[in-house]
With several copies, the nearest count.
Chain A
Amino acid sequence: MKDIKLNIEQIEADVLCIGGGPAGLCAAIRASEKGANVVVADKSNTLRSGDAGMGNDHFMCHIPDVQGERPGFFSKIGKMSQAVTETFWENAYDLVKRWDSWGIPMKYEGKYEFAGHSMPGQPDFFLHFSGQNTKVKLTKQAKKTGVRIINRVMILDLIHDNGTIAGAIGFDVRESKLLVFKTKAVILATGKCMRLFPQNTGSLFNTSTSPINTGDGRAMAYRAGCELSDMELNDRWSGPKYFARNGRGSWMGVFKDPNGIQIGSGKEMTGHFYPQLHENYQKSGRGPVYMDLSDISDKEYEDMKYWLVHEANTPILDFFKEEGVDPKEHPFEFMTYGLFTPGGINYNEKCETPLAGLYAAGDEFMSFYIAGAAVFGSIAGESAASFAAKTKTSDEKHTQTLVVKTKEFLETVLNRTDGATWQEANSAIQQVMADYCGLVRSETMLTAGLEHLRRLKKKLPQVLMAQNTHELMRCVEVLNLFDIGEITFVAAQERKESRQHHHRVDFPFTNPMLNEQRLVVKNKKGQPVPEWRMKA
């Protein structure tokens, strides 16, 4: 019989940043600059963790001297509020300068270069930057600013007291330690939610953005009482087949059909906004669709490869190299990846959430790309620091109960010898999501699927099994996915219309009356309940 025990360790600070990506690190740096005692907890290691771990090559911003007019595009379509959008454009250039001063090369050959990823008829608004080592530089800057970084920590729940945040509870994923964070403010910056829907066959971890982003922030916030927004409006991407990887905008070729006929004009951004193209061609037998680089010049090809390196696409370039194949001469297939969840914690322009002391930033809701993470990370840090400065540490009674309960649960999972692995549970939730709440939704399917999901969810605590704290981290991720899945079902049931990828066959039309509303789901006594809100 196993008998793993977790030792309790307490960590005190003013501000805790959960997640050490661009948002979390920028939050930590700013909060620390503002005088707060800051700790960052990352599931991995901030040097290379998350979507930005191996780089990003485009930073959305407005630099008047270079671009002239401010691009209007994103202020019109963003699901964020007008105030958030405005705040973004006002602050982005400042972040460019700060990053540059921290050693992140924001200029290319001595000047700001805007190129790629832009929309037809709009000024270029993506600054091309050599971002392969962004996370290394941000980590260095955070340490220099006095931030304490604790890597390999899985935070699993927020500690709160009557609507006020008091910290968080987590564990070390390499050692048997339960970590109790007592802080005055908490910033959620855990990124996207990727492993809810199946992405690709063959592997749970073959995802286009980081597979360890499992909506942990969303799930914790929901359990603590925050509402989640737009959870039913799932989205899809496309990219190389079968090596799931984002960065479509960096492949400078055109799409061609099997007969070498170009699809589209090659100039528009349909590759971004019509990711189903590839699936539709495949399912209708007209496919595959190829990314064809044969018509670009040698100079363009060399440039493309340079930027692909900074856009974290070296593994695909290396694949072709090992294969002895030049992608310029060998068109390769694209595919449509699975659904994911952009909806989440709809933070305001100060990064506030409905809970006092709780802030969110970056991809906790939608995305302004890495630039949005930088801007709102910094703002979250500022908000959290100023909240912490005027707040006393909360009392401990509630914490003790939670710690005891959490410790007991985690140790049960660790010491179980017969049961379900996290992979089994993760596959089960993906199966339910794809089969009942996927690309085709209807009242009858949603009802049946939600019942099945809840039946499985109820069993999880009785069967989940982990051999060590690493697997325990994966188990907690899956528990979060079950919460988010349940919320997605409830929201999909409530939205009785079709919109974007939310396709209700029983309500096939888009209802224009809902254009100005958004759907949120709240935790009411453990049950997810939908509510409509006017858009801000």
Chain B
Amino acid sequence: MAAVIDKEKCNACGICVRICPTDVYYGSKAKEIPVVTYPEECWHCNACVHDCPQNAIHLRIPLTMQVAYKS
């Protein structure tokens, strides 16, 4: 799962569904909390995170994509 929606905060405005470049939210219904139908197509671009007026979305970075750093 890439984008994770906080169901408490989400007001089902549909902006994320409208703008997602890769359409991971395909199949979401108007006025319902969006569904992440194609999580493996998330580019982790942060568009939905940035544009969400409710601040209800955050990205879970997959284990395969976590930046390797020195502790």
Contacts and interface: CB of A to CB of B under 8 A. Distances in A.
Interface in B34-50: 37-38, 40-47, 49-50
B70 interface: yes
Contacts of B41: 205, 211
A327 B69 contact: yes
Interface in B2-32: 4, 18-23, 26-27
A320 B67 contact: yes
B23 A50 contact: no
A48 B25 CA distance: 14
Interface string A118-140: 00000000000000100000000
Is the interface on chain A under 10, 10 to 19, 20 to 34, or 35 or more residues?
35 or more
B70 A44 contact: no
Given A203-B40, A315-B46, A456-B63, A44 B68 contact: no
Contacts of A338: none
Nearest to A290: B70
Contacts of B20: 44-45, 48
A448 interface: yes
**What's the interface size class on B, roughly?**
35 or more
B68 A241 contact: yes
A290 B71 CA distance: 12
A330 B46 CA distance: 23
Interface in A45-62: 45, 47-50, 53-54
- 4 cross-chain pairs, A with B, having the tightest CB-CB distances, nearest first: A202-B64, A428-B63, A332-B69, A48-B47
Given A316-B67, A418-B60, A427-B64, 14 more contacts: A44-B23, A54-B50, A132-B50, A174-B26, A202-B64, A242-B64, A288-B68, A325-B69, A325-B71, A327-B69, A451-B71, A456-B63, A459-B63, A463-B60
Interface of A: 44-45, 47-50, 53-54, 132, 152, 173-174, 200-207, 210-212, 240-244, 288, 290, 312, 314-316, 318-320, 322, 325, 327, 330-333, 418-420, 423-425, 427-428, 431, 448, 451-452, 455-456, 459-460, 463, 465, 468, 470
Interface of B: 1, 4, 18-23, 26-27, 37-38, 40-47, 49-51, 58-71
